[in-house]
Amino acid sequence: MAQLTETNRPPLTLLTPEEEMFQSSVRQFARDKIAPLVREMDEKGEFRRELIDDFFRMEWMGIEIPEALGGSGGNFFNCILAIEELSAVDPSAGVIVDVHNTLVNNALLRWATEDQKKRYLPRLAKDTMGAYALSEAGAGSDAFALATVAVDHGDHFLLRGRKLWISNAREAGLFLLFANANPEAGYRGITAFLVERGFPGFEVGRKEDKLGIRASSTCELLLDDCRVPRENVLGKIGEGYKIAIETLNEGRIGIGAQMIGLARGALDHAIRYSKERKQFGKAIAEFQAVQFQLAETATEIEAARLMVYNAARLRDAGQPFLKEAAMTKYFTSCVAERAASLAVEIFGGYGFTRDYPVEKLYRDAKIGKIYEGTSNMQLQTIARAILGAR
């Protein structure tokens, strides 16, 4: 697979010197260690375990976890930089780090008891991958139409049901899982549980054979009277819907970072190849039509990057970011799809083959409009925000 160039490097003026150094280290690792394995992992549908071990070793799996609990004590913006740089080489790598940090770790940092933090955050920082289990067959955009139930037995709950499309599931050791402890109360019965892989009655089922981000595992979860201790309830019983909503708002910024990384990677490949591919006696980069397409895509990526960075900065500053997160996810997914499509066209017939990297990025891009809230759901959130609807 061709190596990425520095052509479309993010503007360093947006970053502090410390952020520049962190970004550079992630970028170098991605290009040196991940890039040579991308095609193999995509074809096998399996992310190399040694790379995940490297993510832990580099402290990218505990970016916001305090140093006292084994993490690096960084901020949300650092997570975004890591996701973007990994995704520029392989979006599958980006989503692994994204789900673990922006969904699982963040939920524990905000809602876990001190005992839960001491039990789980050091593991999540050191060697235990986390997964976020909300979706079901009948609960996608209508995320709170959960059929999975949690039956209260005093000192423990028994969970029954089936979860679908759970990222990181094959490798994860801890699952942030949502079930309804009081179905009669509707969404107000939804409760968040910390489910360990070894709990009785819990099983990771079939791995999905996906169109894109194939190396990232996506599996079903089977709960057959899965016994979860009461002390593993995250937050309060019946407040799982709040945890899910607020966590996903942050996760959408992470998906935005994944999408701008993907778009950057696609544009880098397109720019490089446009200078190599000759038609009518000259490189196609010399044709104004191609120049304008590349220029338009570069402009869109720059705008998308600023949206992602702004939303992340708002989150770190403790400012409202609901609208900005929705806009970020919606726009970046559109930009990534267009950038990947253009890259395929720039490569011509080669772009339609698996011998070159851009067809994979084109497949990877599609998920951006689907997971962690479809584009239509983002537009609904944006419309409510600008119209003042409740």
Which H helix or E strand runs over 223?
Answer: strand 218-229
Residue 236: Cβ within 10 Å count:
12
**368 is written with which tokens?**
């951006």
Is the separation of the CB atoms in 293 and 370 below 8 Å?
no
Is the separation of the CB atoms in 35 and 1 below 8 Å?
yes
Q: Is the dihedral of CA 317, 378, 258, 142 positive or negative?
A: positive
Query: Which of 141, 379, 144 has its CA nearest to residue 389?
Result: 379
Query: Which of 43, 360, 82 has its CA nearest to residue 215?
Result: 43
**310 is written with which tokens?**
């702004």
Options 300, 324, 359, 372, the catalytic residue: 372
Is the separation of the CB atoms in 163 and 244 below 8 Å?
no
3-state helix, strand, coil in the chain (%, to 5): 60, 15, 25
372 is catalytic: yes
Report the catalytic residues.
Answer: 372
